[in-house]
Amino acid sequence: MAPGVFCVSLLAVIMAQSVECCVPHSIQAQVPVEVRPGYVISQVPVAGCHIQGQWLTSSDPHFAMRSDGTIVTVDVTTVTAEGRSFWVRGRDGGGRRWRMEVRLSPDPEQEHIQVPMRVPLNVPAQKGAQRGPSEVLRRSKRRWSPLPFSIIEQDIPPFPKDVELVGSDSSVNFTVYYMISGPGVTMSPEKLFSVDRDTGMVRVHYPVDREQYPKFVFTAQVFDRRSGKETDRPLDITVLVEDINDNAPTFSGLLTFSVLEQCKPGTEVGEVKSTDKDEADTPHTKIRYTLLTGGQFFTIGSHSGLITARTSTLDRETQVVHAVTMEIRDMDGAKNGLFNTATATITLLDINDNPPTFRETTYKATIKENRADVLVLRIPVDDKDEEKTPNWNARFVITQGNENGNFRIDTDHETNEGLLYVVKPLDYEKGKTVKLMISAQNEAPLVGMAGTWLSIPVDVSVGDEDEGPEFTPPNMVIRVKENTPNGTLLSTYTALDPETKSSKGIKYYTKFDPGSWIAVGETTGELRVANTIDLESPLVTNGAYTITIKAVDESKKSGNGNITLLIEDVNDNVPKIVPGTDLTLCEEEEGQMGSITIEAKDADLSPYAGPFNFMLPEGHDGKWRLRDIQNGSAVLEQVVEMARGVYAVPVRVTDLQDKGGVQVLSVRVCQCLGGECVAKRSSVSVGIWGVLAMLLAFLLLLLLCLLFVFYCTTKGEKIYMEDCSGGMLLKSNTEAPGDEVKSAALLIVPSTGVAVDTVDSSMKGAGLVGLLNQNGAGCPAPGPPLIGQQTINLNRESVYQTSSRQDFLTAQGQSFYSTGQYGGGNFYTDTTFLKQSQASSTLSALHTWKTNGLYLGKKLVYFGDESEERYADDVARAYDYEGEGSPAGSVGCCSDFGDQDNLDFLDSLGSKFKTLANICMDKEEEI
């Protein structure tokens, strides 16, 4: 016998013995004489013995097995005095079958214990548990309950093969026959199972694949042969297909992995995954992993499939890709197990474990002196690491010999070579050879080794050339005070020939001197002041002034030298008030004094500049004072209120060395808007713009008066008045049909024989009435003759206005005039002021007009505002029918042009005009 077979057999025996030791051969239980459904009999140790609960079955249909090994009743069962027994069957984790006998004996004391019939088989119940009477259900009909059957997949012929008997308890009382239907019988796969009608033997007719049909559940029925009726309820029959190892395991997932080179042993590389179609958790699917190749570098977990590094010597530069062959075998790797093989690809990732190496042990190059930005040498290197990565890209460093910065080295990223350049000219006279030390490095640091970066020496030979003169030093610094007198010798700046080390035959010229401040001696190189040196000049930057001198030898070769003048300051400037001496002071509110800030600047530097001292000189007018004096500013403030205007204010400003003087400020005091003076009437003078503004206003007023006169003046008809003893109705104009009275012009007629001109031609036909009365007689008394003419216009407020002066002659021959306003009591002569009583007796015409003019003026304004259809009934209308009973009768077309000297028409004016006349007379009498 082979050693492998012997080990497997021994293991099976040990497992079988362990199961037999774990599960007892039989158990004894006492139960009531009449056991109700749901009563717990006992429990099989399922968990401790690794028994699969789904394979637990009972040989007695009155008892059922739960997955946890509990034995419960499913129907009312009677246990006689002789007892009752049945078998419990099952399988362990390895697929081996076992059975245990259950023996029941009656317990008279538990005879009346009742347990509900409907107890879930998946919920354990306590043994002997008692429920209330309300929970006791009706007794169900006794039924048949065969155990689950099982067949082996891919069973070998001959077929058909008996599986198991299906029997019903009703066969005791009836002659029965059996029928089955469902999957495997009448449904796909059809005709796999059949049943013997008489015996109830179930048979299988051909092999079946468990991976396709792991279980069949079909229905069994039992019928009475005589009546054809079912003698029991239909029962579901379960047929389990037992697995055989007929499927080899297969790989799943990718088989491509990567790991860093020189990794530590035990570093995870990747996990191999596999599957098996056989029944899970059985030896048929227990897979073992094995490496067939590559075991010297890698290992694989026998059950996990995890690949790890076996050694730290993995070198990408030696072998980049490793092909590892693997085997997976079920039955835990047993010889009879099924297997598959595959190749996994493991790629080693690069690390920087190889520094760049030089192809030569030393390099040499040659360069002429005075050359710059010239490629001197290309330095190739080799690197075993992966190309075009930071582990391969070279970086060159000059570690020695470049203290003066004459060289620069770069990298050619295509060829990975070092490029050595001269960036500053070399001097043959200072050194014929330059020795450099160059190191080659990578962008990534070295790992995985104790090595260092490599270096090589590079010798650069300098070729000699005929050069121009050289100044020593090449940059000279000279300190000089500003304003140094012209011709002063500052220094001597000479050059030497590099070959002869002599200054013979060298001439000097000024190459750059923007201010022409320095003169250089052509043959001596002496530097003398040629023009005033000024620190405050814009040519000076931070107190320094730069000059370039050129030296030319006999071979016309030249060299340059730079001179920097550091100029020292002197106190040659006084502080000045900025931005100027013309200042504007804005008026403050009443009771506050105005002020303005003044600032001073000094072009000198410290200590010849600020802080400045501000003061008012002696003998100032006392109207100003200084306060809040700071380093460079002070506040000039009024002491007394001042009229607007321009004031001259002297202020003395000195620097820190008390150098300075008096500066006269022109301060303008004015009202400001946005910081600027605005025009306003000044208490001192009007100014030219004020005069122009007044002239413009006067011209506009004159133009307005001319327009007014042109508008209001018309051609008037002159009316001559005779002496009369009463009031008269005077015709002012002729009204034509359709004319409308717009306004009225009242003429003051003081005496008979004086001509009165109408003023407004638009008043034609308005019927102006002039009432003149003095002592109630209706006619004016003789008074002073009227000199000139006066026009009085009525506005809607009944205020008359005069457009010319009225001159009267008194009895004594003196002239006077009226102010032309209602109620005016002031009348003036040329030299004498007249009283009110004297004016009243003299100007009766004015009083008459004053009384009646108001009434007539209001009337006329009202007429002008109203439309024609709304005129009052008492208004005289031209060419209109006066109505029946009118004293005047019908007015004819020519009634308005009657005899002007005939006054009989006054008797027929009507009651309204008589009332108007009475009002006028009463008013005059009151005066």
Comparison of pLDDT for 879 and 45, the residue scoring more: 45
Query: What pLDDT band is residue 824 in, cutting at 50, 70 and 90?
Result: very low
Given a contact cutoff of 8 angstroms between Cβ atoms, the answer to whether 568 and 482 are in contact is yes
| Section 486-494 average pLDDT | 89
Q: Given this model, what pLDDT does residue 578 score?
A: 83
Comparison of pLDDT for 547 and 753, the residue scoring more: 547
| Section 832-844 average pLDDT | 43
Q: Given this model, what pLDDT does residue 743 score?
A: 41
Q: Given this model, what pLDDT does residue 145 score?
A: 62
Phi, psi of 325 (to 5 degrees): -90, 135
* Calpha distance 327→251 (Å, rounded): 9
Comparison of pLDDT for 246 and 83, the residue scoring more: 246
Residue 551 forms beta bridges with which residues? 508, 559
What are the CA-CA distances from residue 492 to residues 471, 489, 826 (Å)? 11, 8, 105
pLDDT reading at 219 higher than 90:
yes
Residues 6+ apart with CB under 8 A from 475: 561, 562, 563, 564
In tens, the pLDDT along 15-39 reads 444 444 567 778 888 888 888 777 8
Given a contact cutoff of 8 angstroms between Cβ atoms, the answer to whether 260 and 351 are in contact is yes
Query: What pLDDT band is residue 620 in, cutting at 50, 70 and 90?
Result: confident
Nearest-10 crossing angle of helices 844-865, 911-926:
140
pLDDT reading at 725 higher than 80:
no
Given a contact cutoff of 8 angstroms between Cβ atoms, the answer to whether 495 and 503 are in contact is yes
Query: What pLDDT band is residue 496 in, cutting at 50, 70 and 90?
Result: confident
In the numeric block, which tokens belong to residue 348? Answer: 């080693």
Query: What pLDDT band is residue 708 in, cutting at 50, 70 and 90?
Result: confident
pLDDT reading at 54 higher than 80:
no
DSSP 323-382: EEEEEEETGGG-TTS-EEEEEEEEEEEP-S-S--EESSS-EEEEEETT--SEEEEEE-EE
Q: Given this model, what pLDDT does residue 417 score?
A: 95
* Calpha distance 850→68 (Å, rounded): 137
Q: Given this model, what pLDDT does residue 821 score?
A: 42
**Phi-psi map region of 820: left, alpha, beta (phi>0 left; psi -120 to 50 alpha):** left
Q: Given this model, what pLDDT does residue 308 score?
A: 96
Residue 636 forms beta bridges with which residues? 596, 626
Least confident of 15-19, 645-649, 705-709: 15-19
pLDDT reading at 829 higher than 50:
no
Kindly give the pairing relationship between strand 672-673 and strand 215-224. Answer: unpaired
Q: Given this model, what pLDDT does residue 212 score?
A: 93
Comparison of pLDDT for 419 and 38, the residue scoring more: 419
Distance of CA 833 to the CA centre of its chain: 87
User: What are the strands, taking DSSP E only, across 5-83?
Assistant: 26-31, 34-35, 40-43, 57-58, 63-65, 70-73, 77-78
Q: Given this model, what pLDDT does residue 912 score?
A: 64
Looking at the chain, the whole-number percentage of residues with pLDDT higher than 90 is: 31
Q: Given this model, what pLDDT does residue 902 score?
A: 58
Q: Given this model, what pLDDT does residue 343 score?
A: 96
Single-letter code of the amino acid located at 816: F
Looking at the chain, the whole-number percentage of residues with pLDDT higher than 70 is: 67
In tens, the pLDDT along 298-351 reads 999 999 999 999 999 999 999 999 999 999 999 999 999 999 999 999 999 999
| Section 84-94 average pLDDT | 78
In tens, the pLDDT along 149-182 reads 889 999 999 999 998 888 888 888 889 999 999 9
In the numeric block, which tokens belong to residue 448? Answer: 């995985």
Comparison of pLDDT for 468 and 761, the residue scoring more: 468
| Section 702-710 average pLDDT | 84
Q: Which domains does the chain have, with CATH numbers?
A: 16-135 (2.60.40.60), 150-242 (2.60.40.60), 250-349 (2.60.40.60), 357-463 (2.60.40.60), 470-568 (2.60.40.60), 576-677 (2.60.40.60), 716-924 (no CATH)
Query: What pLDDT band is residue 874 in, cutting at 50, 70 and 90?
Result: low
In tens, the pLDDT along 510-542 reads 999 998 999 999 888 889 999 988 888 889 888
In tens, the pLDDT along 769-816 reads 333 333 343 334 444 444 344 444 444 443 434 444 444 434 344 444
pLDDT reading at 357 higher than 90:
yes
Comparison of pLDDT for 468 and 785, the residue scoring more: 468
Residues 6+ apart with CB under 8 A from 644: 587, 669, 670, 671, 680, 682, 683, 684
Q: Given this model, what pLDDT does residue 359 score?
A: 93
Phi, psi of 333 (to 5 degrees): 85, 10
Q: Is the pTM of this model over 0.95?
A: no
Comparison of pLDDT for 486 and 898, the residue scoring more: 486
Q: Given this model, what pLDDT does residue 179 score?
A: 94
| Section 373-392 average pLDDT | 93
Q: Given this model, what pLDDT does residue 505 score?
A: 85
Average pLDDT, the chain: 75
| Section 274-295 average pLDDT | 94
Query: What pLDDT band is residue 249 in, cutting at 50, 70 and 90?
Result: very high
pLDDT reading at 841 higher than 50:
no
In the numeric block, which tokens belong to residue 91? Answer: 């399988």
The three-point CA angle 858-863-867 to 5° equals 150
Q: Given this model, what pLDDT does residue 577 score?
A: 84
Comparison of pLDDT for 243 and 112, the residue scoring more: 243
- Give the per-residue SS3 of 720-784: CCCCCCCCCCCCCCCCCCCCCCCCCEECCCCCCCCCCCCCCHHHCCCCCCCCCCCCCCCCCCCCC
In the numeric block, which tokens belong to residue 300? Answer: 């694989």
Tally of CA atoms within 13 A in the half-sphere of 321 that contains its CB? 7
Specify the DSSP element, H or E, that contains 824.
Answer: none
Kindly give the pairing relationship between strand 786-787 and strand 807-809. Answer: antiparallel
